[in-house]
């Protein structure tokens, strides 16, 4: 037993500290309130003559029972507070309810009683703790819904009606409303609706209040739906579990049995049941008592709720009844005739709008809870949606708008249960109405488009449409159609931009931005994997293991979409040649290699776009295989519980019925078999079905063929079908229904060839409901980009085109910004899904809007650009995309570079763009970063044609505007011009153009390569001869950028190098005069080598080989830049000498240095580099030794530069011999024998090249030859540590010593050089010295004799040589002395001895033969004893001393 909870207005009483006092105070307050209400009712009753007279007329007359009960209540109400017991609310409510029920009371009395009840309800006195609260609430509802009163004037009647509405609404909003039964809730709604219905003839205020109350009731009831458990008989949750028993409920609660509130004089009672409401909707509870009133068409829902369930506390049953009633209000329109007083509510708009508004409220509040209750869900899926489809095509924009709102709400809450319904709505309503070609008015188009845009703003809507419909072979491509619709609708074709275009654009961009937002959520595969069907599997049987797991459903829907696309291609082939079409599908594994009837039947059944004539011909063919296909085809239909004409309509929609009677017979036979198998109903056998089908086709032709003049009557039709049902007649009603169905609605035997969007008709709806039971589960897509790649590939082209056209036509800032947002979203998606072609298309489109690509016709393009907001926005967007999405731009780089070049020509680029971008990697803290300082190259080599030379860079342009030209006076710029310049400057800063190049190191390889190619392409191909200054400036700028990105990408130089090298090579080969371009090319190449050699040793050869281009420069170009080139080479070598390891690299360096040897200005720097390499041998290596020797020889022979340089060059050569000795020593110590031997051979070769080089300098006409001879002697004699092979010495004598001696004699005879005699003396001494030093080793060789004779031969020649026409005295003295020394040493070494007395010693004989020619007396001097016979002596001591004597004098 709970106590009564007081209303909050009696605050003072509640605040008493003690509970007993509080309770007492509460009771007192309630007693006072009830007492005042009784007084109010009695006061009004006294004003009435009937009640007032009876009250005062004599004590013998009893008072009326109504007054008496009120007085008793007044008496008791204060005594209850003292009794201590809790009061039952029914006791103090009853007197007021009696007044409300009484038909004797007038409207004012009834009104004030209703007010009293309303007051009691709203003060929260009636809560769930009250005693017998159920009885109290039930009695209130019963009394108010059966309210009777006399009407005195219309105004007071309306007041009572309003108060009835007020009290009923208060009942539902009360905390105690949960105790009401299902039936009571239905009665409340019925009563309210009756007031709404009858208020049509009353004032506008009552109409509005009545409708508002109805809305509030529906909202109040359905707000409880989410709280209800998922059981069929669930009730609204409540605190008390007391079971309520309500007796005496009968038909008075149903709308149909009591359509007036009383009898007698009440105008309200006597209102006719006007309108169609009672005729069409006989009440919420009518089916409790009347048979045949069902909620749905399907079996489980046709069972009505039993009476017991309706008396339980309210829950789902009453909601089902109310929802069904609301849906039935929409059906009314189909049946009601529009008479003059047919209904006070106008049916064209009011009734549907009112009903749709109530339904919308119910769905908004019921929300996802509806799916937990099958009967409610079934109403939504079938009856509601069927009506929405019908009203969706209404001419009223208001109705269409409300329908779209409901569908949007249904999508939000119940999309998983409404897959095919949503498809039908978009196909048959939105896609039809949003296009003018289907006859929709502009208002309809606008509402449909607004609805579509609302759907597009739901992030997952388009993805779910694609996954569930476009990727399902049995559904249409809703996503594709909607995307195309939005794109086309955004196109302003030959008309200015309208609100509709902007609306469609908003929808399109909403879809694109949804994709862009999903990118950050991951789960998209950047590598798009194509699908291939390896083998045949029945395409209509493909199933997914788990529709809620993306790992399963994503590949599944992609595979299904692939199949669907292939089927469409197959359909296209089939329409041209059925045989080839089937062969194509076999080739793609969609049909088996050996065709079977089922697979072909399913191809016909599930593939859109087939030529229905061809399908009909195939199915009607007498060929056995075709007959089998026909029966399999019929087997794909579900005719369960379908009328025969409905089934036939569905069947004949899928192909064109052939014209030949035999084919028609075969087709109808297959249909009849299938129909009888599934829906026998009243048919006796399949023959009956066949005959009746034939009859229907004939009736259809008869009724709808204009050539048939005499139409078949109903009686004719019934007569024609006698005795066909197994010998019996079919029911007349059945045939009559068929007859009228065919007459009213033609069966189209020539269906349209997939044109447009079909209208929804009853047979299609029935088919849809059948399909919805079998369709695959609805796939719910979360916020990850699973299918965005596929979707974006479909819509990207039309989207870019649409946004571009709108942007082109737009004139308002907000439209520009919308388009820009769209462009950026497209770029982001393209980049993330690696759709390079799409990004390129976008860049091409955007570049057109920058106005930079158009050869500007305006006088001052900079000002024009500053004034054009669209161009500036487009420019910033292009460069934003280039910076953010550059990785995936390919051919688009060309367009971007065109824009950059245009800005460059206008002098608008910051200097940093043209500066070395690689500097950023060296020193990122550049204070001038981003500041548009003057551009060092912008106009360095050119003057703008027809105008004074521009100041370079942005600030230069700006200052030029402010200056006054001395030659051509100009007015001061206006404020507008200054503002335009300022805007231009800000725009270029926002573009961050330099970042494209400075950050190129982060570009993906493919994009970087395309950027480099674009630069080469933009630079153009220089032609031999002169080119315009502007072209040259462009070429220089592009080359500068190319070099910058090359330096910035040193880690990926291999990627770029080939293109860069070829471009520079082309410039070198085609340039014949010094100019800025060749200067930039040559020094850029040197700079690349300087920068990259430290990091890319594996590319050192490649880089250095490229420097050979410098050697191929035209002579005039070389002369102009030789000194600077040498300085750059010097820097290169000094910084990287240790990194140049290959012979190839050094060969290039040596070639360049050799060139400088002949150039006056460059030779000093060149020799400096050579000295750096060769001094101390610090940078000499086997790889560069020979090359350096050759280069040093070139300097030694060069006649430019200081006089002492040749001698220094010779010194460098001579000093290098020590390196050979060191290498040889290291090799013997560190290497294996085989390797050491190999290196020893190499060292020998290098030594030979060294002495050969010196030999050549020995022939120089200047006195450096003597220095060279001395150095040569030093190199030939100081070789002890080299361990040169003896064979090499023979070579050395042949090609170095002997050749040099011979050449000197020849030179002496031809030229008259200074100090030639001294040279000959030095040469001869060198010969003697080297021969004697190596005598022991050489004498072991078999060819020693030949060598010795060579020595004697030269001495003989030198004995005879003439210097300046006469023999040299010094040589005459020197030769005998050297020869004698040599013979003595040979004797002492035991080399020259007579070994045989028989004359067979050739060395001995040949020696004296030659010696005697030179100095005949020498034999006697050397061999004074003139011994004969064999001499074998080993006089090492003598030999040693003799050898010592033979040293150079």
Structure tokens at 1280: 């002890």
Alpha-helical segments (H) within 336-471: 350-366, 374-379, 385-392, 397-414, 419-425, 431-433, 442-456, 461-465
- d(Cα 742, Cα 737) in Å, to the nearest integer? 9
- Rounded CA-CA distance 1397/847 in Å is 106
1055 neighbors 1011 (Cβ within 8 angstroms): no
Identify the CA nearest to 1284 among candidates 1352, 1328, 1342, 1334.
1334
Residue among 924, 911, 926, 927 nearest 1001 (CA): 924
* Of residues 907, 989, 899, the one with CA closest to residue 956: 907
Total Cβ atoms within 10 A of residue 77: 21
Q: Which residues of 481-505 are buried (b: 16+ CB within 10 A; e: fewer)?
A: bbbbbbbebbbbeeeebeebbbbbb
The sign of the dihedral angle between the CA atoms of 416, 418, 420, 424 is: negative
d(CA 218, CA 363): 10
DSSP sequence for 1201-1249: S-TTHHHHHHHHHHHTHHHHHHHHHHHHHHS-HHHHHHHHHHHHHHHHH
Query: Residue 1166 and residue 641: Cα distance in Å, rounded?
Result: 103
Between CA 304 and CA 310, with CA 305 as vertex, the angle to 5 degrees is 145
Angle at 984 between CA 978 and CA 989, to 5 degrees: 130
CA 853 to chain centre: 27
CB contact at 8 A, 1091 and 1044: no
Q: CB 1259: neighbour CB atoms within 10 A?
A: 18
Nearest alpha-carbon partner for 105 in 35, 168, 46:
46
Structure tokens that stand for 498 in this block:
């309208």
- Asked if residues 800 and 505 have their Cβ atoms less than 8 Å apart, the reply is no
Question: For residue 137, what are its two tokens?
Answer: 């609430």
Q: Which of 426, 423, 511 is nearest to 463 (CA)?
A: 511
Copy the structure tokens of residue 376. Answer: 């409610």
Is 660 labeled as catalytic in the residue annotation? yes
Pick the catalytic residue from 227, 660, 715, 1369: 660
Selection from 49, 31, 51 nearest residue 41 by Cα: 51
Per residue, the 3-state secondary structure of 1190-1203, as one string, reads HHHHHHHHCCCCCC
Helix (H) or strand (E) holding 1367: strand 1366-1367
Q: Which two tokens mark 21? A: 């006092």
Coil vs helix vs strand at 524: coil
* Cα separation, 124 vs 126, whole angstroms: 5
SS3 state at 1362: strand
Spatial separation of the C-alpha atoms in residues 1120 and 1124, rounded to whole Å: 9
> Around Cβ 661, how many Cβ atoms within 10 Å?
9
Q: Could you tell me the end-to-end alpha-carbon distance of the chain, in angstroms, rounded to an integer?
A: 146
Q: How far apart are CA 1420 and CA 448, in angstroms?
A: 134
Catalytic residues: 660
């Amino acid at each position: 037993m709970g106590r009564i909870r007081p209303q909050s207005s009696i605050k003072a009483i509640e605040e008493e500290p003690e509970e007993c006092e509080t309770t007492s105070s509460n009771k007192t307050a309630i007693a006072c309130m009830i007492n005042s209400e009784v007084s109010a009712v009695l006061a009004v009753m006294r004003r009435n003559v009937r009640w007032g007279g009876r009250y005062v007329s004599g004590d013998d007359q009893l008072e009326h029972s109504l007054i008496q009960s009120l007085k008793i209540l007044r008496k008791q109400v204060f005594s209850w507070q003292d009794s201590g017991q809790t009061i039952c609310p029914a006791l103090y409510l009853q007197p007021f309810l009696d007044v409300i029920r009484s038909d004797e009371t007038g409207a004012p009395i009834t009104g004030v009683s209703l007010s009293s009840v309303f007051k009691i309800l709203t003060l929260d006195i009636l809560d769930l703790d009250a005693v017998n609260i159920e009885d109290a609430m039930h009695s209130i509802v019963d009394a108010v819904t059966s309210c009777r009163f006399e009407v005195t004037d219309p105004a007071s009647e309306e007041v009572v009606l309003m108060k009835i509405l007020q009290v009923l609404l208060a009942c539902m909003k009360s905390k105690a409303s949960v105790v009401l039964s299902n039936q009571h809730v239905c009665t409340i709604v019925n009563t309210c609706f009756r007031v709404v219905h009858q208020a049509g003839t009353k004032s506008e205020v009552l109409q509005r209040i009545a409708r508002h109350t109805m809305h509030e009731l529906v909202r109040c009831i359905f707000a409880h739906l989410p709280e209800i458990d998922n059981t069929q008989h669930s009730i609204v949750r409540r605190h008390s579990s007391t079971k309520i028993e309500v007796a005496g409920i009968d038909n008075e609660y149903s709308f149909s049995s009591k359509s007036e509130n009383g009898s007698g004089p009440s105008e309200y009672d006597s209102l006719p049941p006007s309108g169609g409401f009672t005729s069409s909707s006989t009440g919420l509870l009518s089916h409790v008592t009347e048979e045949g009133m069902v909620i749905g068409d399907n079996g489980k829902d046709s069972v009505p709720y039993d009476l017991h369930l309706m008396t339980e506390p309210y829950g789902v049953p009453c909601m089902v009844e109310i929802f069904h009633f609301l849906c039935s209000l929409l059906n009314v329109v189909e049946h009601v005739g529009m008479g003059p007083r047919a209904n006070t509510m106008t049916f064209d708009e009011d009734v549907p709008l009112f009903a749709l508004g109530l339904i919308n409220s119910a769905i908004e509040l019921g929300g996802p809870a509806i799916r937990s209750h099958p009967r409610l869900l079934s109403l939504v899926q079938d009856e509601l949606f069927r009506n929405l489809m019908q009203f969706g095509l209404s001419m009223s924009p208001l109705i269409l708008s409300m329908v779209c709102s409901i569908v949007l709400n249904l999508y939000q809450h119940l999309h998983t249960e409404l897959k095919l319904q949503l498809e039908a709505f978009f196909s048959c309503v939105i896609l039809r109405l949003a296009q003018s070609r289907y006859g929709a008015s502009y208002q309809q188009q606008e509402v449909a488009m607004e609805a579509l845009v609302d759907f597009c703003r739901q992030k997952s809507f388009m993805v779910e449409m694609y996954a569930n419909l476009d990727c399902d072979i049995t559904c249409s491509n809703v996503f594709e159609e909607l995307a195309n619709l939005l794109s086309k609708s955004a196109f302003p074709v030959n008309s200015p931009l309208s609100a509709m275009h902007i609306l469609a654009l908003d929808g399109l961009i909403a879809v694109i931005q949804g994709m862009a937002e999903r990118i950050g959520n991951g789960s998209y595969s950047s590598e798009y994997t194509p699908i291939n069907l390896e083998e045949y599997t029945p395409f209509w049987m493909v199933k997914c293991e788990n529709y809620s797991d993306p790992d399963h459903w994503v590949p599944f829907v992609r595979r299904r979409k692939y199949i669907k696309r292939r089927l469409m291609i197959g359909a296209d082939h089939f329409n041209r040649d059925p045989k080839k079409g089937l062969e194509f599908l076999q080739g793609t594994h969609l049909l088996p290699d050996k065709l079977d009837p089922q697979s072909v039947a399913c191809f016909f059944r599930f593939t859109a776009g087939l030529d229905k004539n061809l399908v009909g011909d195939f199915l009607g063919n007498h060929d056995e295989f075709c007959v089998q296909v026909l029966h399999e085809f019929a087997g794909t239909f579900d005719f369960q519980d379908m009328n025969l004409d409905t089934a036939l309509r569905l069947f004949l929609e899928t192909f064109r019925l052939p014209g030949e009677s035999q084919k028609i017979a075969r087709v109808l036979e297959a249909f009849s078999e299938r129909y009888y198998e599934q829906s026998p109903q009243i048919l006796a056998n399949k023959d009956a079905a066949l005959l009746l089908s034939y009859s229907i086709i004939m009736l259809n032709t008869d009724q709808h063929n204009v050539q048939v003049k005499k139409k078949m009557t109903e009686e004719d039709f019934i007569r024609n079908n006698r005795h066909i049902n197994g010998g019996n007649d079919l029911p007349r009603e059945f045939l009559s229904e068929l007859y009228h169905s065919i007459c009213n609605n033609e069966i189209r035997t020539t269906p349209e060839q997939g044109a447009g969007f079909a209208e929804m008709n009853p047979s299609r709806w029935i088919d849809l409901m059948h399909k919805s039971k079998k369709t695959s589960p609805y796939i719910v897509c979360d916020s990850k980009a699973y299918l965005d790649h596929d979707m974006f590939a479909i819509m990207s082209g039309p989207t870019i085109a649409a946004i571009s056209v709108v942007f082109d036509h737009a004139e308002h800032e907000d439209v520009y910004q919308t388009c820009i947002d769209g462009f950026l979203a497209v770029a982001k998606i393209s980049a993330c899904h690696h759709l390079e072609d799409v990004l390129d298309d976008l860049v091409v489109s955007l570049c057109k809007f920058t106005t930079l690509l158009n050869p500007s016709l305006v006088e001052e393009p900079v000002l024009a650009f500053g004034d054009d907001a669209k161009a500036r926005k487009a420019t910033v967007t292009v460069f934003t995309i280039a910076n953010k999405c550059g990785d995936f731009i390919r051919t688009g780089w060309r367009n971007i570079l065109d824009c950059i070049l245009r800005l460059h020509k206008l002098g608008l680029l910051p200097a940093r763009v043209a500066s070395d971008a690689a500097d950023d990697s060296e020193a990122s803290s550049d204070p001038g970063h981003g500041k548009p300082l003057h551009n060092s190259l912008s106009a360095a080599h050119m003057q703008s044609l027809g105008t004074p030379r521009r100041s370079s860079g942005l600030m230069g342009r700006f200052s030029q505007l402010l200056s006054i030209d001395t030659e051509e006076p100009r007015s001061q710029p206006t404020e507008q011009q200054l503002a335009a310049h300022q805007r231009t400057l800000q725009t270029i800063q926002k573009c961050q153009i330099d970042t494209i190049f400075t950050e190129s190191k982060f570009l993906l390889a493919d994009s970087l390569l395309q950027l480099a190619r674009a630069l080469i392409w933009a630079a153009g191909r220089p032609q031999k001869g002169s080119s315009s200054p502007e072209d040259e400036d462009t070429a220089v700028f592009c080359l500068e950028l190319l070099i910058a990105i090359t330096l910035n990408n040193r880690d990926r130089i291999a990627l770029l190098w080939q293109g860069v090298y070829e471009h520079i090579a082309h410039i070198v080969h085609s340039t014949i005069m010094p100019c800025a371009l060749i200067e930039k090319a040559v020094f850029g190449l040197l700079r690349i080598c300087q920068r990259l050699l430290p990091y890319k040793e594996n590319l050192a050869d490649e880089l250095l080989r490229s420097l050979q281009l410098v050697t191929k420069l035209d002579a005039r170009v070389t002369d102009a830049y030789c000194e600077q080139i040498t300085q750059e080479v010097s820097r290169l070598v000094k910084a990287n000498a240790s990194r140049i390891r290959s012979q190839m690299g050094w060969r290039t360096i040596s070639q360049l240095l050799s060139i400088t040897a002949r150039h006056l200005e460059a030779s000093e720097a060149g020799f400096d580099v050579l000295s750096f390499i060769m001094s101390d041998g610090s940078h000499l290596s086997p790889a560069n030794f020979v090359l350096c020797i050759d280069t040093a020889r070139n300097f030694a022979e060069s006649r430019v530069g200081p006089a002492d340089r040749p001698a220094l060059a010779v010194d460098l050569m001579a000093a290098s011999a020590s390196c050979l000795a060191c290498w040889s020593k290291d090799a013997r110590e560190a290497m294996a024998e085989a390797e050491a031997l190999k290196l020893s051979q190499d060292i020998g070769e290098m030594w030979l090249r060294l002495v050969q080089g010196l030999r050549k300098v020995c022939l120089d006409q200047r006195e450096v030859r003597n220095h060279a001879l001395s150095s040569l002697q030093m190199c030939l004699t100081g070789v002890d540590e080299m361990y040169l092979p003896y064979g090499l010495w023979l070579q050395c004598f042949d090609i170095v010593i002997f050749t040099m001696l011979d050449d000197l004699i020849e030179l002496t005879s031809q030229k008259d050089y200074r100090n030639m005699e001294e040279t000959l003396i030095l040469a001869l001494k060198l010969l003697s010295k080297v021969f004697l030093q190596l005598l022991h080793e050489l004498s072991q060789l078999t060819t020693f004799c030949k060598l010795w004779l060579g020595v004697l031969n030269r001495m003989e020649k030198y004995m005879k040589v003439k210097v300046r026409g006469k023999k040299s005295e010094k040589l005459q003295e020197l030769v005998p002395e050297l020869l004698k020394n040599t013979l003595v040493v040979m004797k002492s070494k035991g080399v020259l001895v007579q070994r045989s007395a028989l004359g067979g010693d050739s060395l001995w004989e040949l020696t004296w033969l030659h010696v005697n020619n030179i100095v005949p007396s020498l034999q006697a001097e050397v061999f004074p004893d003139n011994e004969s016979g064999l001499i074998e002596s080993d006089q090492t001591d003598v030999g040693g001393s003799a050898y010592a004597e033979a040293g150079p004098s």
